[in-house]
């Protein structure tokens, strides 16, 4: 009995207490004073995003694989005036997406797509020997210019001076050849980059086998500031550039380098009309004045007549190779490649090989440098300016530090950086095989398009046509 009465008393007390609290709250709080439901319980509030621990993921619009039953690859891509894309590489196939090739040797392969990656037309260019396309630009008349190197002297290729020559092809908007030119000597002469210059002409960059040319290929321009010894035979390979008029006729050509291997992979035009060639140098003599060790990023700056204004080496004691460059809105330049160094100009090395990105001004001063990657092999092969900074692509074998995943062997790797080179986001895309990104471009809508190749049999990329297929990836 006592136990029951005690229980009733506790219930009565509790009821009176709750009734009193309800009356007090009703008097003191109006309707406008009630806190929103999500704020009344701190346990259900959404945490504030942390950009380091909760990054915004790169959104993939599409991945598309192209090719035939043989080996096919894209090495470059650019956006087009109609909102689509055009990709260049080379193909050995005579079937599948390749409709006009008749011999199973590499030909330049150009594919025009719409904004969704659907093929609008596909064309091959070349002869009966090995021809490899490296870079495509859309020209001011709405057509296209292609650069690469050729071993052919038949078909679309008018001449060949021996082994590989620089081969430039100018197309109309439908991909029909307007003109083509070969430049080379008996050795291995390869071209990788082309720009349309402000005067409507072109400049191409690559390298020259200067030993095979016996020192030819350097049109010395007389100037009181020009060192005439620069026409001297140097050694193995040289940065080699050609200034062409609007019809591909050569206006002048220059080579620069030392006694070892020096190869240019990119070219840009400066605001004053001068030219930069960017690549890697193994030399420490002749034109190279400040070698850091082994291979370095090497930049050559000329005026509009091809006269050398300055040259700079960047890197450390190991192998550092620059593959790509872009001009920034402030008139400076950002250069991308990879490094195996942990000293010299390189800080923050993660291990094995990292992507290395540097920014320089028009006097060749280093403004900043950044390493991006993990403890395995990571490289940047292409770069483009974006509305928010820069984007790079290449490949990665890592799954740690800056890189979160790896599907197996090399994955195509895309990284977004701000204007100061700080990593904002990154994404690895691939399967169980070797997947590589070689080209990247952006448009005014904020889209980024990546070109490359895949050998994978599963995962996000599948080589469904042959052992090696070309790839386009569009991200938003």
- Pick 46 or 399 by higher pLDDT: 399
Q: Between the CA of residue 226 and those of 61, 222, 230, 286, 310, what are the distances in Å? A: 51, 7, 8, 14, 11
SS3 assignment, position 54: coil
Task: Give the residue-averaged pLDDT of 453-460.
Answer: 94
> Does pLDDT of 28 surpass 90?
no
Q: For position 51, what pLDDT does the model report?
A: 38
> Does pLDDT of 106 surpass 70?
yes
d(CA 86, CA 89): 10
Residue in the block written with tokens 């799954």: 399
Q: For position 33, what pLDDT does the model report?
A: 31
To the question of domain 61-475 being in CATH 2.130.10.10, the answer is yes
Structural contact between residues 469 and 66, judged by C-beta atoms closer than 8 angstroms? yes
d(CA 121, CA 197): 27
Q: For position 231, what pLDDT does the model report?
A: 52
Structural contact between residues 416 and 389, judged by C-beta atoms closer than 8 angstroms? yes
Q: What is the pTM of this model?
A: 0.86
Lowest pLDDT segment from 21-25, 237-241, 288-292, 338-342:
21-25
d(CA 277, CA 7): 91
Q: pLDDT exceeding 90 applies to what percent of the chain?
A: 80
Q: For position 401, what pLDDT does the model report?
A: 98
Q: For position 233, what pLDDT does the model report?
A: 63
Task: Give the residue-averaged pLDDT of 181-210.
Answer: 97
d(CA 350, CA 338): 12
d(CA 263, CA 254): 13
Q: For position 445, what pLDDT does the model report?
A: 87
Label residue 57 by pLDDT band (50, 70, 90).
low
The structural domains of the chain, with segments of one domain joined by +, span 61-475
Task: Give the residue-averaged pLDDT of 114-127.
Answer: 98
What DSSP line would sit under 218-235, residue for residue? --PPP-TT--GGGGS--S
- Average pLDDT over the chain, rounded to an integer: 88
> Does pLDDT of 16 surpass 70?
no
pLDDT digits (tens, 9 = 90+) for 397-420: 999 999 999 998 999 999 999 999
Phi, psi of 294 (to 5 degrees): 50, -135
Task: Give the residue-averaged pLDDT of 171-179.
Answer: 98
Residue in the block written with tokens 């994955």: 411
């Amino acid at each position: 009995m006592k136990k029951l009465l005690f229980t009733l008393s506790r219930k009565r007390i509790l009821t009176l207490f709750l009734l009193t609290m309800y009356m007090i709250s009703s008097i003191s709080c109006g309707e406008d004073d009630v806190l929103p439901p999500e704020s009344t319980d701190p346990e259900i509030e959404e945490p504030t995003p942390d950009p380091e621990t909760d990054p915004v993921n790169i959104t993939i619009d599409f991945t598309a694989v192209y090719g035939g039953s043989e080996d096919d690859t894209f090495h470059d891509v650019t956006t087009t005036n109609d909102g689509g894309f055009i990709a260049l590489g080379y193909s050995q196939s005579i079937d599948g997406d390749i409709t006009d090739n008749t011999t199973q040797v590499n030909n330049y392969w150009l594919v025009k797509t719409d904004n969704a990656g659907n093929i609008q037309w596909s064309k091959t260019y070349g002869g009966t020997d090995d021809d490899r396309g490296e870079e495509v630009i859309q020209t001011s008349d709405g057509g296209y210019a292609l650069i690469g190197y050729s071993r052919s002297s038949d078909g679309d290729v008018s001449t060949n001076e021996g082994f590989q020559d620089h081969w430039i092809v100018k197309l109309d908007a439908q991909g029909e050849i307007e003109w083509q030119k070969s430049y080379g000597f008996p050795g291995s002469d390869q071209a990788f980059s082309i720009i349309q210059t402000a005067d409507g002409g072109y400049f191409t960059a690559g390298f020259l086998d200067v030993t095979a040319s016996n020192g030819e290929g350097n049109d010395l321009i007389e100037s009181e500031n020009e060192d005439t010894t620069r026409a001297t035979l140097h050694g193995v390979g040289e940065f080699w550039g050609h200034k062409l008029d609007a019809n591909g006729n050569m206006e002048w050509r220059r080579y620069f380098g030392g006694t070892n291997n020096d190869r240019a992979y990119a070219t840009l035009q400066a605001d004053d009309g001068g030219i930069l060639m960017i690549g890697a140098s193994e030399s420490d003599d002749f034109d190279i004045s400040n070698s850091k060790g082994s291979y370095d990023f090497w930049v050559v700056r000329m005026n509009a007549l091809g006269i050398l204004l300055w040259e700079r080496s960047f890197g450390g004691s190991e192998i550092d190779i620059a593959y790509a460059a872009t001009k920034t809105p402030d008139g400076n330049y950002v250069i991308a490649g990879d490094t195996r160094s942990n000293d010299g100009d390189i800080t923050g090395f993660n291990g094995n090989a990292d992507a290395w990105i540097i920014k320089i001004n028009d006097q060749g001063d280093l403004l900043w440098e950044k390493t991006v990657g993990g403890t395995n092999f990571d490289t940047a092969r292409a770069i483009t300016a974006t509305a928010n900074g820069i984007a790079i692509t290449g490949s990665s074998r890592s799954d740690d530090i800056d890189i979160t995943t790896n599907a197996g062997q090399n994955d195509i790797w895309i990284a977004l950086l701000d204007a100061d080179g700080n990593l904002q986001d990154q994404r690895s895309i691939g399967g169980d095989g070797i997947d590589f990104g070689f080209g990247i471009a952006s448009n005014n809508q904020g889209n980024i398009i990546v070109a490359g190749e895949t050998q994978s049999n599963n995962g996000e990329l599948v080589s469904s046509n042959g052992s090696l297929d070309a790839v386009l990836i569009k991200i938003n």
